[in-house]
Structure 1
């Protein structure tokens, strides 16, 4: 039986990887700084949960013991977590190598190396740690999640102004689809290259206005859609279309179907 360690196994994508891996009959260990209590909806039966922290090395040896592959779904969006994001990845890889793990798979963001936005820079830095690892590695770059765009709309709806960024289109994808791609990469046969990079894109390319209209219809929110220019590195990244891979539509869950599934929580 293949044994999988999911780092960040209680996060947005990590818990979906855990769910899919457990359903596939794999032996699963979830590494997280905060282990969900028994009875929590974030905890899956048959999964071993280990408390740990890649920034200090705490719990890594225990979580990786006996694992064949590690899937890194960790995030570090702000402050200290972002500054230590790449180093944490390197620490996880080193611990995995010592434990005899044969492959490491990491979640990243499409074209993160083409942006000066600090969060994307940290992702690119971590990708380089994977490319230099002694392990066989696969980095899976995903387009933005459906929830990112929905979060922008929800914030604007509080003042009844729904922002859409000028010149921006999205090819958003669901965490479930990304989790499936990560698990596929973990279980695939050896490739000709020791360090591989692949991209997964959402099922459709939409303007932000189209997405705003769908979000308002699904949530019943009232307000006026307003076009704004997003400044800085993130705005430049979106206007250049670096968040899109229109020739590659891997996801199956559209933005509208994702909204329908989550209607009660939006």
Structure 2
């Protein structure tokens, strides 16, 4: 079996990918800013990054920072991977990074370009938003007595375990370039997702749809972040996710 490095290996996606690769018998190194022995900030790199990549055949790049730095992190990682002779760099990205002019998405797209032009063997999988991200947004919005939602927006949340399964499988295969996007099973209005959340948590809130403006809002409104039916490959719905969380809380 091969030696693999999972960046962001303690995060929501990375820890699942690392677990699946280990279960398949691979030697897995986990790189994270605060997780020894490979505690590395990819934005600064250095000798610690070179040591983490040394002897690695495949890198699975799950690390991401919405506050900024993905492009710089990708550049550092690509440089270290070249020096170490890495054969395969598998990367997770987001559906719509080339269609939605959101600052974080632009950084993700720039990271994709660096990987594509790296000279390394590479695979890039784009996925829609994970269920836990949608939940976090709704939890924050529901703190107010009135739940305000951007008018006319939809989402296509996907189960993170399904993305982890797909990314781990791709990492064990030869480099494949851009592979088909992975979207959740349903395109849902934000209002329907909010109502599902309120029902599951027994909360009552008035829902108000608020029209917004700007290029980014227009791109989301037009569905630039959605895969459409062709790539709605996920199976777990938002309600499935909420019910599973409720059951887990009941056992705690």
Question: TM above 0.5, one fold?
Answer: yes
Give the deviation of 1:148 after TM superposition. 2.3
**Which stretch has the larger CA shift, 122-131 or 59-68?**
59-68
CA contact (8 A) 1:157 1:222 kept: no
Q: 2:168: which partner in 1?
A: 183
| TM superposition outliers: structure 1 runs of 4+ over 6 Å | none
Q: Output the CA distance in 2 between the equivalents of 1:151 and 1:229.
A: 21
Instruction: Identify the match of residue 135 of structure 1 among 95, 120, 140.
Output: 120
Match of 2:30, SS? strand
Query: Using a 3 Å threshold, how does the CA distance of structure 1 residues 227 and 173 change in structure 2: closer, same or farther?
Result: same
Give the deviation of 1:62 after TM superposition. 2.1
Query: Using a 3 Å threshold, how does the CA distance of structure 1 residues 189 and 158 change in structure 2: closer, same or farther?
Result: same
Query: Is residue 60 from structure 1 mapped to residue 42 from structure 2 by the alignment?
Result: no
Q: 1:232: which partner in 2?
A: 214
Q: Output the CA distance in 1 between the equivalents of 2:26 and 2:203.
A: 42
Give the deviation of 1:33 after TM superposition. 0.3
CA contact (8 A) 1:174 1:251 kept: yes
Give the deviation of 1:255 after TM superposition. 0.7
Query: Is residue 14 from structure 1 mapped to residue 3 from structure 2 by the alignment?
Result: no
Give the deviation of 1:218 after TM superposition. 1.1
- Superimposed CA distance per residue, residues 82-111 of structure 1 (whole angstroms, 9 cap, x where no aligned partner): 1x3212101101111211210001111112
Query: Is residue 144 from structure 1 mapped to residue 129 from structure 2 by the alignment?
Result: yes
Provide TM-score, normalisation by structure 1.
Answer: 0.86
Match of 1:75, SS? coil
Q: 1:159: which partner in 2?
A: 144
- 5+ residue gaps, structure 1: 37-48
- Superimposed CA distance per residue, residues 173-205 of structure 1 (whole angstroms, 9 cap, x where no aligned partner): 1221211221122112354xxx43431111111
- Superimposed CA distance per residue, residues 36-68 of structure 1 (whole angstroms, 9 cap, x where no aligned partner): 7xxxxxxxxxxxx51112112142122222221
Q: 2:29: which partner in 1?
A: 29
Q: 1:260: which partner in 2?
A: 243
Give the deviation of 1:214 after TM superposition. 0.9
Q: How many residues align?
A: 246
**Which stretch has the larger CA shift, 181-190 or 122-131?**
181-190
Give the deviation of 1:135 after TM superposition. 0.5
Q: 1:209: which partner in 2?
A: 191
CA contact (8 A) 1:64 1:99 kept: yes
What RMSD over aligned residues (CA atoms) do the two structures have, in Å?
1.8
- 5+ residue gaps, structure 2: none
Instruction: Identify the match of residue 100 of structure 1 among 85, 92, 109.
Output: 85
- Superimposed CA distance per residue, residues 109-167 of structure 1 (whole angstroms, 9 cap, x where no aligned partner): 11201122111110111111011011111111111121222222211211122233222
CA contact (8 A) 1:152 1:163 kept: no
